[in-house]
Structure 1
Amino acid sequence: MVDDRLRTPGAVRDAERFTAHNYHPLPVVIASAEGAWLTDVDGRRYLDCLAGYSALNFGHRHPGLIAAAHAQLDRLTLTSRAFIHDQFADFCRELAELCGKDLVLPMNTGAEAVETGIKVARKWGYQVKGVPAGQANIVVAEGNFHGRTTTIVSFSTDEDARADFGPYTPGFTVVPYGDLDALAAAIDDNTVAVLLEPIQGEQGVVVPPEGYLPGVRRVCTERNVLLVADEIQSGLGRTGATFACEHEGVVPDMYLLGKALGGGIVPVSAVAANADVLGVLKPGQHGSTFGGNPLACAVATEVVRLLATGEFQRRSAELGERLHAGLQSLVGKGLVAVRGRGLWAGLDIDPTLMTGRQACERLMERGVLAKDTHGSTLRLAPPLVITAEEIDHAVAQLAAVLAG
């Protein structure tokens, strides 16, 4: 029997009634949060093991980030790029230094960063590499998730993301992820870029074979092709390094960043590259009204400063070992496989036991929130402020769910 005093059922019904059904959320209605914990409208607490798909790497309401936002709200929130504001240069300089690049182009969402990267790579191809007009192509990987704009879904292999949204944008060649020979064979004289996630998040936190990313870097250098790393989910501390590419000593020509860059407060994304790449853009050729706005820059600058200390990268690396050890102990006890790096894991559940959705619903009942993908796969990406005890708690709840 449903308790009539609970607010959750009515709030869920209203959400279903008045919104387009482009998501299938768990039936939980969050009202407040702090650190790694969420509280719903009925006062029940949940351990957040998704962190807004890595947008909340620093936890909910990190005091330094909240303070930066409050201070900026009292001063200035938007000017557009028609003018320069006093937060802009610091953000661009400090993010460029973090990335080891010359220039930064601020945008808002991850998909905008990807679209920007595509445009810059094509323009670089025409103006610098000398590709004939209209002939530029970009090599991408199967199982990719770079966003949901019409251009991006044109090279998606996920039919849920792609079906019925054509006609599709040409200029992309899809190859198997992790297959260096296939990637090298796909590059021709008109190829301007290889666009990859160093770890495929939506696909189930898929880590490529060792040596793959260095091989891609070598091929791109040899063939005069830009290596564009989509670090929107994998970057900014999630994997135990500032960027996932660092685990194999790879430096891309272009970083695409987002999610955690906004600290879970405002949407912030950016493209970082050297002047010989980003310098191809001239006034009027690309832009965004809200991109690089004062509020976004104030928060994102504080994010960059948190990362510059190295504390969160170390936490992810150390606590990630604990998380993965706990999860590996469940292989053969309901889990078929575990993948990932740092505080990021993809778990394949024995499909004869339950679906990923069912596992998430049962975890929710036990006070842990996670997200499924592709049938029987779960993704765990807790905030980097999570404690060792909280990790053990999450693993224990998963073990209980798997045990039935």
Structure 2
Amino acid sequence: MFRGIRPLLRGSTYSGALFAYCGALASLPLLPVAALPAMAWPSASWGVQVALTVLVWSVLIGVIGLAPTTRRVLIACARRMLGVPLPDPVGERRRADRLRTSLWLLTHVALGWAGAQLSVLLFVAALLLPGGWAGAEAGVSVNGWTLRAESGWQSWASALGCLLLAVALCLAVTYALRWLAPRLLGPSSAERLALAAERERALAERNRLAHELHDSIGHTLTAATIQAAVAGEVLCADPVAARAALRSIEESTRAALEDLDYVLGMLREEKAGTAPTRTLADLPELLDRLRHAGAVVEPELSGDHAQVQGTLSRAAYRIVQEGLTNALRHGAGGPIRVTVTAAPDSLELDVVNRTGAGSGAGTVKSPDAFPTSGHGLPGLFERVRLLHGDIEAGPDGPEHWRLAVRLPVRLPA
């Protein structure tokens, strides 16, 4: 029983009815304008004048529903007052969407007027029916139909019944609007496609930011750890080398903080600053920081790197950075060979480092070989796949590990 009356005790029930009544009230300023054609036809009967006024009134309300901002306002109000999860409209408004908005506005106003008049009538009846308020002859008459109660408990029972009917009417109006809102204000098929495309774009952007953050912070922490160890070992014997290692830590962590601030701003949907754009032109600086960390790097940069621009150049930098990070983290010391070859139609990246004998299970050409995705090598596989490139990672001889990536300079159409 309590479950049956629970909707009558919710504030959302009455906020929904209030939303309907406000819609009826908002349509009142249009009534004098709608009455002008009827006033210009004085010879018509009273019924014809009323019908003409209602018709013109409905047309005016429907025209308002065609306005560009009406749909957004109605969706925001329905979310607030009805508690219906409606997304904001996206994309270009189609004719069907405008017509659905007009139909919703007409239904909203009609339900508001019907509900408001019946609610007022029921509340007035609840006040007048008890005989003690207005005498034994008290009653309510509407169009020749009279509701009259005898004095005593019958009058109070009738008054309570009118109050319950008024509350039930609020519930019915609210449920009707909640049922209609998704169907008339909800996204159309075209809007659903636009919303899906927007969600896919946002997800792709967040995945890209996750890759950027992993590459930058992972590399910085690995390099800073090695540099700190080097500085600690040579602090007394070679203060100059120790200061150089500490200076390298400062430079690399400052660059990582810029990346972190940008990514966090994007994830919080704030207006972030200019995105850090590190490209192949920044590779020498990256290699210098590794040398300060004590690593032996043997670079071989050939070809015209200036022809590699934009997204491809930034991605190539991150790929080399991740390869170097893995070499520092998992390598067994020794030189790290970095080869970057820019050909007219492709960009080839190779990172080879020394490993322990017997390490590695074999060359990997698919991210499915990894138990996780989105970090380290799986992230590299995903990045290369999006650039339509080829990637291999695995042992290169008995004591070396090789990361080989080939990226097309001109992406296929």
Higher relative contact order (CA 8 A, sep 6+): 1
TM-score category, normalised to shorter length: under 0.3
TM-score, length-scaled by structure 1: 0.22
Q: Highest CA radius of gyration, 1 or 2?
A: 2
Larger helix proportion of the pair? 2
Q: Which has the higher strand share?
A: 1
